[in-house]
Amino acid sequence: MRPLSIEGAWVMEPRVFTDGRGGFHEWFKEGDFGTATGYGLGLAQANCSVSARGTLRGIHFADVPPGQAKYVKCVRGAVLDVIVDIRVGSPTYRRWEAVRLDDTEHRSVHLAEGLGHAFMALTDDATVVYLCSTGYAPQREHGIHPLDPELGIDWPADLAPLLSEKDAAAPTLAEAERGGLLPDYEECVAWQRELQARAVEGRRTPAAIPVQH
């Protein structure tokens, strides 16, 4: 896993083995993930979305704590995946970074709690799967308009973006900040330190030994 320019975001670039039968790669490795983040991926929900070419989903995020970390992969077609730093007080606040995810290079991205996430389908039937650290909770979920000119995300110019009604009605980053919706950078860092401390404590605690009856 290679860190991106936004703290809390990584890209996983697997080695892909191919032969006459097809291909094989490891798209998630707990050891590599833990080494990069300092804690494990607490899997609570796995999602799959299929999108027509030009579909634009996001920018989505959740209240921290607990937030919702995501590990994202495109298993069919291709998408432009974008991670946005929306944590107020972050050194990279408002920065975004894009990674192409497709069924050729088989990259995955991970974004920690508090970061915003969006993607645009570059092909028809683009299929994205993502592992989530917490389950869907509507009362904690928020969005920012993905075409906010203040963010200036460089979406493909040759595609007309297709948004859901909810995403099209989402506030701009400035409106979300004024409304107190955005995560606080220090709170996000404190939460991730708490997760790291829990992981260390878990490694120190001996596993329970089953009792034979």
Sign of CA dihedral 90, 84, 69, 16: negative
pLDDT tens, position by position, 7-61? 999 999 999 999 999 999 999 999 999 999 999 998 999 999 999 999 999 999 9
Q: Rounded to whole angstroms, how far apart are CA atoms 63 and 67?
A: 5
Ranges of each domain in the chain: 2-200
Q: Rounded to whole angstroms, how far apart are CA atoms 102 and 73?
A: 8
The predicted model scores a pTM of: 0.92
- Active-site annotation, residues: 60, 130
Domain 2-200: give its CATH superfamily.
Jelly Rolls (2.60.120.10)
pLDDT tens, position by position, 177-212? 999 999 999 999 999 999 999 998 886 554 444 444
Provide the mean pLDDT of the chain.
94
Tokens 């909810």 found at: 166
Quick one: pLDDT at residue 201? 84
Rounded alpha-carbon distances, angstroms, from residue 141 to 18, 33, 35: 40, 25, 29
